[in-house]
Amino acid sequence: MPMIGPNALFSNLLDDKEVADAFGEAATLKHYIAFEVALAYALEKAGLAETGAGLAVDQLAGTFQPDVAVIAQKTSEDGVTIPEFVRQFRAHVGETYAKAIHTGATSQDVMDTATVLSLKETAGILSGRIDQLNAALRSLCEQASGVEIMGRTRMQAALPIPLTARIDVWQRSIAAITQTLDEVTTSLPVQLGGAVGTRHAFGDKGQEITDEIAGRLGLVSSSSCWHAQRDILVRYADVLSRLTGSLAKLGQDVALMVQQGVDELTIRSGGSSSAMPHKRNPVKAEVLVSLGRYNAIHLSGMHQAVIHEQERSGAAWTLEWMILPSMCMAAGKALSLSVELVKSLDVPKT
């Protein structure tokens, strides 16, 4: 899912393959299967599926190869991926254990849980890159020790400040966001509500089944479903926007600091110009600003997607599928660029 459409010319500049893969078809189908296997175990444990159903479904899942083309075609008709996926999975499992597949669940349960699992994987990717960025910033601070620059307010010269003071602002902002990302990630819940969010098909076993699925998938259990209550996804999107916004501030500062005549930092390599070969454009710094603005714009779309009518919204739900993965990709790319940018910076000798 490239951020700029199917145009390979821009992919190295803007796309993030590792994060994209976390939302790709292979990962999505893996998460669908994991949900259905966990549900089969939970149904068996609750006495709502045959003895041995969980293990049987689990073993058969290992050889299941979904027909992606057919699922994609049916999705254009159904608006969701799960009806055809479940049909294929049940056919693969066979009649004996078919009732352990998807019983009591609905499409949104599977798809929301898959989204949450992709978000959890993405958070791991982002955390690793944040560690790299922190290390690069610490190294830059060592270079900057004892160096003063002009502090500027409203882009006007104010008073001299240590160069490390400006770097410290970047570091503290990232540290605060890292803590919030950890908090949001550890609270990601499984989704299980059934047809209308009441878990009615499970009788009095709904919470027990939810707990079991959550435990098997490494997610938080929930006392109720969140089909039409999308706060958790908006919180995650907010962290993404705050992260790319902070990295955009870093990028904007660097772009100003490397200007000829200012020269508070230098970049070892910059972008070239077709008309002015002497130029070295701060491309990575500029893209950080663009990615920060991109996520700020899309965060408003996630707030639009909070408006889920009644027990389930097709329109608001689809909007989330369009926005959230691209916000994750923007955050991942911004972190990669930030690491590369900071590592390329030098403090001029005075």
Domains detected in the chain: 8-346 (1.20.200.10)
State the Cα–Cα distance between residues 170 and 176, nearest whole angstrom: 10
DSSP 349: P
HSE-up of residue 281 (Cα within 13 Å, Cβ side): 11
* Region of residue 155 (phi > 0: left; psi between -120 and 50: alpha; otherwise: beta): left
pLDDT for 156-207, tens place per residue?
988 999 999 999 999 999 999 999 999 999 999 999 999 999 999 999 999 9
Length of the chain: 350
The DSSP H or E segment spanning 151 is strand 148-153
Per-residue confidence (pLDDT) for residue 206, from 0 to 100: 97
Model confidence pLDDT, tens digit, residues 252-289: 999 999 998 898 999 987 554 444 445 578 899 999 99
Residues 90-107 have a mean pLDDT of 95
| pLDDT reported for residue 319 | 95
CB atoms within 10 A of CB 48: 20
Mean pLDDT of the chain, nearest integer? 93
Pick the residue with more confidence: 235 or 3?
235
Confidence grade of residue 4 (pLDDT, cut at 50, 70, 90): low
> What is residue 273's predicted lDDT score, i.e. its pLDDT?
44
Q: Are 1 and 20 in contact (CB under 8 A)?
A: yes
On whether the pTM is more than 0.85, the answer is yes
For 33-61, the pLDDT digits (tens) are: 999 999 999 999 999 999 999 999 999 99
Percent above pLDDT 70 for the chain:
95
